[in-house]
Amino acid sequence: MTSLVMPTMASSLLLQLGSTCGKSPSFAPPQSILVDKLRRLVIKVKSSETRECTTAMFNANSRRDFLGLALGVSGLFIGSLDANGAGLPPEEKPKLCDDTCEKELENVPTVTTGSGLQYKDIKVGQGPSPPIGFQVAANYVAMVPSGQIFDSSLEKGQPYIFRVGSGQVIQGLDEGILSMKVGGKRRLYIPGSLAFPKGLTSAPGRPRVAPSSPVIFDVSLEYIPGLEVDEE
């Protein structure tokens, strides 16, 4: 005959196998035991089972709480490391004009050309000036008026080579280099009309250059390859 009692599989997943937590014990007491003794025995067994069940649940909950606490503390620790990393001072970018140079420039007269370009010579070179159309190798540090750098050949590790006076760079840079000599350094104050008519989109960590806004270039004329070969 088929049994009508269904197995309790779900409860076995929550508790250890063989546990009777939450269930009354099954046993057949001898008939000689009095009813009141049987009642006290059942109450005692239920109390013991309840304590065991409570202890098991407490231990399980304690393990979960401890694991959660440990994960939380590790998260806070990692977060604090990230915060410390974010709080580090910004990396110093290489420049053509250091703090001493900046102080000296205060006493250097400003030259203004007919186009509106202004410049100050940080150092006057001793070599030749580049003829229009010749290639030149120059280092530069490009800044917005506040002094924030938006581009620099020094960070790329090599001079920028282009044909001067042929429109390969902005007008202010072309004009400023044409009157320089090899070995010289100059600060160019380029008005918006000689800079970037369409502006420049900002790279990560770089300032944006608005359309037709003034910019500042520190430039050093390193050498003129074709001219040096011809002179030899």
pLDDT of residue 125: 96
pLDDT of residue 99: 94
How far is it, in rounded angstroms, from Cα 151 to Cα 141? 6
pLDDT of residue 203: 83
pLDDT > 90 fraction of the chain, expressed in percent and rounded: 54
pTM over 0.85: no
pLDDT of residue 219: 98
3 state DSSP class of 57? helix
- To 5 degrees, how large is the angle CA 172–CA 178–CA 184? 100
Identity at 64, one-letter amino acid code: R
pLDDT of residue 90: 55
pLDDT of residue 199: 95
162-174 confidence digits (pLDDT tens): 999 999 999 999 9
- Residue 178 CA from chain centroid, whole number: 39
Residue 100: pLDDT over 60: yes
Residue 5: pLDDT over 80: no
- What value does the mean pLDDT take over residues 178-193? 98
Question: Is residue 200 within 8 Å of residue 150, measured between CB atoms?
Answer: yes
